[in-house]
């Protein structure tokens, strides 16, 4: 079997993985983050408070093709991660690896906990990982061929990455440092490099203009979220999480070998720019106190290099290389299956494995209770006298609540949710203004400052009795009658980030 047929086999493996996700991604329910993106997808713009426009644009395509199908909404996220697997194999091939190296690289990347999770949730992380890997792969081709025209697709990938997640700035820093510290610096005189820069700016320009028009609101959002994450300790274990979140523990020897080989191996030193591409954003993440999973795509080129080095050494020792590669690949996939039980929605509800998954993975907890929340709000709304219903609006304090109301509410004949969170704030408040509000996620004391009458009208639960943010932190649903101030007056202060 030659290298081409190995790539074909890995593509088939990736397609089988995609089919697996299609068959399993309809379990549980929408995650609160997905509910926000789904709502943003209905309001296409060149930017959103919480992220650039690419993910919402893909969400709009999925809504058009599949409606509000849970499987359909997660389809392209799964596709993106399957493409990453193929790119890992192609990267190993570009670095000089044969069939064995390609299969090991593909298997090792396939079992990344974040990549697995990103195949089962529709979030910008899925596409962010893809663009980082495309940049690394394209840079490897540029190094190998010394063809400066590859700066154009590399620039396009950077531009799309900026339109997906702003952490692409850290990878751009990696590209710059790699160019300055390696023979790539001779390309600084090439028109193709600067054409690639221009292309990346052209692709990113619509969002940059949007940010300018909206007073760079995403900078305020990112500052708020980062300060929150640091305050509650989400960034404390950045280094530790590299071994079990950003990468799978069993792949650690592989990517460490790859990192070393890119500097010292005669066969791989040519590609040391890839190591610099990885090290630079990693250091910046560490200094800036980033979340551990941000570094996930950095391990793909290191794993590819490690697979090439491992198989080259094994070949020099002359054992049965095919047997060694097969054993390693199978062991990697077994390790991946153990992780999959925690990060993928495959455990039957109520089973022991499902309960363990809920304990280990908070994302699952946030996929329950949204239909019940909407049903409870509809019950409260529809028990009001008709004259009062006409003057009652719904206010949600977080984007999960607002997204759920806007997804499930139309079938229950209730108004859309108003909210000050993230981009929901830009969509404004009901007109004419309601005199009463059904309020979710708020503090009673705050409500009493705004309304003449406040009562607990309902409680949030879910069918599995799971304790999550909605059932523990803001379980009560309030009916707020007689607004003391108008929404027009308080709306400028109603904005919040989350």
SS3 of residue 69 by DSSP: coil
Torsions phi, psi for 399 (to 5 deg): -75, -25
Classify residue 258 as exposed, middle or buried by CB count within 10 Å of its CB (0-12, 13-18, 19+).
Answer: buried
The mean pLDDT value for 482-491 works out to 94
Q: What is the pLDDT of residues 237-282, one digit of tens each?
A: 999 999 999 889 999 999 999 999 999 999 999 999 999 999 999 9
The mean pLDDT value for 151-174 works out to 98
> Residue 384 is encoded by which pair of tokens?
């009001």
Query: What is the number of residues in the chain?
Result: 498
Instruction: Report if pTM > 0.85.
Output: yes
Q: What is the pLDDT of residues 188-246, one digit of tens each?
A: 999 999 999 999 999 999 999 999 999 999 999 999 999 999 999 999 999 999 999 98
> Is the pLDDT reported for residue 162 higher than 90?
yes
pLDDT at 321: 61
Contact (Cβ atoms closer than 8 angstroms) between residue 477 and residue 460: yes
SS3 of residue 59 by DSSP: helix
pLDDT at 335: 79
pLDDT at 341: 85
Q: What is the pLDDT of residues 346-386, one digit of tens each?
A: 999 999 999 999 999 999 999 999 999 999 999 999 999 99
The mean pLDDT value for 275-302 works out to 98
Mean pLDDT of the chain: 95
Least confident segment among 161-165, 213-217, 422-426, 460-464: 460-464
Per DSSP, helices labelled H in 146-251 are 151-162, 168-181, 191-213, 217-231, 238-241
pLDDT at 1: 42
> Is the pLDDT reported for residue 324 higher than 80?
no
Rounded to whole angstroms, the Cα distance separating 123 from 106 reads: 22
Q: Is 441 left (phi over 0), alpha (psi -120 to 50) or beta?
A: left
DSSP 421: B
> Is the pLDDT reported for residue 326 higher than 80?
no
Contact (Cβ atoms closer than 8 angstroms) between residue 477 and residue 375: no
Rounded to whole angstroms, the Cα distance separating 74 from 59 reads: 9
CA atoms within 13 A on the CB side of 166: 17
Rounded to whole angstroms, the Cα distance separating 287 from 185 reads: 26
CA atoms within 13 A on the CB side of 371: 7
Q: What is the pLDDT of residues 79-138, one digit of tens each?
A: 999 999 999 999 999 999 999 999 999 999 999 999 999 999 999 999 999 999 999 999
* Percent of the chain's residues with pLDDT above 90: 90
478, containing H or E segment: strand 476-483
Any long-range contacts for 345-351 (C-beta under 8 Å, 24+ apart)?
A: 345/24, 345/25, 345/27, 345/28, 345/120, 346/24, 346/27, 349/27, 349/28, 349/464, 350/464
CB atoms within 10 A of CB 19: 12
Rounded to whole angstroms, the Cα distance separating 131 from 418 reads: 34
């Amino acid at each position: 079997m030659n290298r081409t047929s190995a790539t074909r086999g890995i593509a088939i493996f990736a397609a089988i993985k995609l089919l697996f996700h299609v068959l399993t991604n309809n379990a549980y329910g929408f995650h609160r983050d997905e509910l926000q993106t789904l709502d943003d997808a209905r309001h296409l713009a060149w930017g959103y408070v919480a992220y650039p426009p690419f993910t919402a644009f893909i969400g709009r395509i999925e809504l058009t093709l599949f409606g509000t199908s849970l499987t359909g909404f997660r389809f392209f996220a799964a596709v993106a991660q399957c493409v990453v697997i193929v790119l890992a194999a192609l990267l190993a091939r570009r670095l000089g690896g044969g069939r064995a190296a390609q299969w090991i690289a593909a298997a090792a990347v396939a079992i990344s906990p974040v990549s697995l999770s990103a195949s089962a949730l529709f979030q910008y992380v899925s596409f962010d990982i893809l663009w980082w890997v495309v940049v690394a792969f394209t840079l490897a081709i540029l190094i190998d061929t010394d063809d400066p025209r590859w700066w154009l697709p590399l620039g396009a990938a950077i531009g799309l990455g900026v339109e997906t997640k702003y952490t692409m700035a850290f990878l751009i820093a990696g590209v710059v440092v790699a160019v300055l510290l390696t023979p790539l610096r001779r390309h600084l005189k090439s028109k193709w490099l600067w054409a690639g820069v221009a292309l990346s700016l052209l692709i990113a320009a619509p969002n940059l203009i949007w940010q300018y028009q909206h007073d760079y609101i995403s900078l305020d959002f990112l500052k708020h979220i980062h300060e929150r994450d640091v305050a509650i300790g989400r960034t404390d274990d950045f280094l530790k999480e590299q071994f079990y979140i950003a990468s799978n523990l069993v792949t650690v020897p592989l990517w460490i070998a790859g990192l070393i080989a890119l500097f010292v191996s005669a066969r791989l030193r040519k590609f040391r720019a890839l190591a610099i591409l990885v090290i630079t954003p990693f250091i910046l993440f560490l200094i800036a106190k980033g979340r551990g999973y941000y570094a996930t795509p950095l391990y793909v080129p290191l794993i590819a290099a490690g697979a090439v080095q491992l198989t080259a050494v094994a070949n020099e020792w002359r054992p049965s290389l095919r047997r060694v590669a097969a054993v390693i690949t199978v062991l990697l996939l077994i390790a991946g299956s153990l992780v999959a039980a925690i990060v993928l929605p495959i455990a039957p509800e109520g089973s022991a494995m499902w309960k363990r998954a809920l304990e280990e993975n908070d994302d699952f907890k946030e996929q329950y209770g949204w239909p019940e929340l909407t049903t409870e709000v509809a019950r409260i709304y529809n028990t009001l006298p008709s004259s009062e219903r006409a003057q009652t609006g719904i206010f949600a304090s977080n984007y999960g609540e607002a997204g759920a109301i806007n997804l499930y509410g139309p079938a229950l004949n209730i108004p859309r949710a108003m909210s000050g969170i993230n981009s929901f704030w830009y969509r404004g408040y009901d007109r004419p203004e309601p005199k009463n509000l059904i309020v979710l996620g708020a503090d009673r004391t705050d409500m009493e400052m705004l309304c003449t009458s406040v009562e607990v009208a309902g409680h949030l639960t879910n069918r599995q009795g799971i304790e999550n943010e909605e059932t523990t932190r803001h379980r009560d649903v309030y009916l707020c009658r007689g607004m003391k101030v108008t929404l027009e007056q308080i709306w400028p202060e109603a904005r919040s980030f989350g």
